[in-house]
Amino acid sequence: MKTVSTIVAICFPLLVTAQHVSVNGQVRDKNGDSLPLANIILLPDSVSAATDTDGYFSLSATTGPKQFIISYTGYQSIQRTIFLKNDTTINFPMEQKIDQLKEVVIRSNRFSQADWIETTRSSTNTLTPQEISAIPVLGGEADVIKVMQLLPGTVRGIEGSSDLFVRGGAADQNLVLLDDAPIYNTSHLFGFLSVFNPDVLENVESITGGFPAQYGGRLSSILNIETISDVPNRTHASANIGLLASRLFIEQPLVKDKASIWLTGRRTYIDQVVKLVNEELPYFFYDLNGKIIIKPGARDNIQLGFYGGQDVLDIFRDRNNDGDGFLTSYQSGNNSQMLKWERTFRSDWTSRLSFIRTEYKYEILNKFEDNRSVSSSDIEDIGVKFLAQKIFPGKSSVTFGADWTQHQVSPSVFSVSGTFAEIFESSSSAARQAQEVSLHGQYEWSLSSRWMLNTGFRASMAFVQNKTYAIPEPRISARYKMGKNEALKFSYSRMAQYMHRISNSAVTSPTDIWYPVTDSIRPQTSHQVSIAWQRLFGAKKIFVSVES
């Protein structure tokens, strides 16, 4: 009995010490800006992690005194000893390193594309606002869509068009998301500029194959655009005057480290410039973006955002200069609203719940004296999205969620009055409503030091009048690591699309009509198989990816 007591007395402290706890937190600079891909090392456990694009990290450790070492290029390293008793949340503010240099030393983080070699992901590109702004575009306006047109596998439409044709797909087979809200018309100035203001971009991700299970609804590609989501610690304002448009951006903290608001606006002024040479160009566009960010605690981030943009064209032709002329008016625009709640739980689970509303509509008016013709179309989506994810030790992860969207479509209305009624006949398409629902989940894990597998499944359904569609969408991807900086990847994706776009250029200017599936118009489906070879070439930081 005494021997048993002695063994328990020796082993009990070891068991307590061996308990695992979760450590979560964020790495930011003194201005409150997040530091992505900052390195965190935990000793003596020899556990390492890197922060995500928002500066957050999560790792598992045993209890007891631990030494945290945080490093980031251009910032002073942090070494801090913390005694871990239970699940802990820690924020690390870093200060910029200011040295008196005797020589020029250029340093940078590891080439970001190298991280893709460690995962099963392929056919994916991420862009920062700095990279987007560095690409020369029309009129000096940074344009994310124009940058996407330069990527491999992507073909642009006619010169100046903002349409994307990815790997043989049609222009309407690309899903464009702005803070989880789909954008149905991505262009201003009849295709020469996109609707995305570069001042507020935080993260841009383009996926053209090997689609994660959380994405669906289109066949060719996903363009996921996220806007600023951090709370700053000071007021920030900027302005830009370009050849085509001017922008103004204002960011204001409301409660220190807890709440902030930012607003930005953009408007073209070419209609005002041509007046200086006694000419008239009756066209302009504008964008308005805004977001309120609230962080009630270290684990929560609540965002309320909106977007609104409009193209306006008014042409008046008066040949006799008697005030009685022919008026053509064209207006089209998007508007969207978003409420997002992101939370990190003590169990290392992260979740995101989004409520979205988005609308796209246009109207074309032709008027001469008492004669009128009006053509219009409108589509409105209301939806809810939920996503949960957990990353386990050993590079494995699980993700699952659900989406629901209601499409309310008034495809086309054409009404005439006066003399026009003798030539044309009024018509309208019946309003359509479709409910789109999906459940999805995926699991990624390492089979060995070389093999990694990702299996996912998405079940999507569409409910329309007199018909219900249900389509299974399996996903699988694998990575075989051929060396430290070389990998071979394979992926298969089944996709389904329940919305279709009809392009019409018969009246005044090009217009888009979106139409949901019906009992006679079936969903579009696709099977995509891809194989990729990726290699990072040594210290030169050259990343090569060849896909078929």
Using one digit for the tens of pLDDT, what is the confidence trace for 372-403?
888 888 999 999 999 999 988 877 899 999 99
pLDDT at 173 over 50: yes
pLDDT at 11 over 70: no
Distance CA 203, CA 228 (A): 8
Please check whether residue 62 is in contact with residue 31, taking contact to mean a CB–CB distance below 8 angstroms. no
Rounded to an integer, the average pLDDT of 12-21 is 57
pLDDT at 108 over 50: no
pTM of the model: 0.76
Average pLDDT, the chain: 84
pLDDT at 49 over 50: yes
Return the amino acid letter for 152: P
Express as a percent the part of the chain with pLDDT over 90: 39
Please check whether residue 378 is in contact with residue 410, taking contact to mean a CB–CB distance below 8 angstroms. yes
Which range of 45-59, 113-127, 158-172, 386-400 scores highest in mean pLDDT? It is 386-400
Q: What are the start-end ranges of the E strands in 295-422? A: 300-317, 326-344, 349-368, 371-392, 396-417
pLDDT at 67 over 60: yes
Rounded to an integer, the average pLDDT of 454-463 is 96
Of 12 and 188, the structure prediction assigns the larger pLDDT to 188
| Chain-centre distance for alpha carbon 145 | 13
pLDDT at 522 over 60: yes
Rounded to an integer, the average pLDDT of 271-292 is 86
Angle value at C-alpha 109, between 106 and 114, nearest 5 degrees: 130
Instruction: Give the lowest-confidence range in 190-194, 233-237, 318-322, 534-538.
Output: 318-322
pLDDT at 100 over 70: no
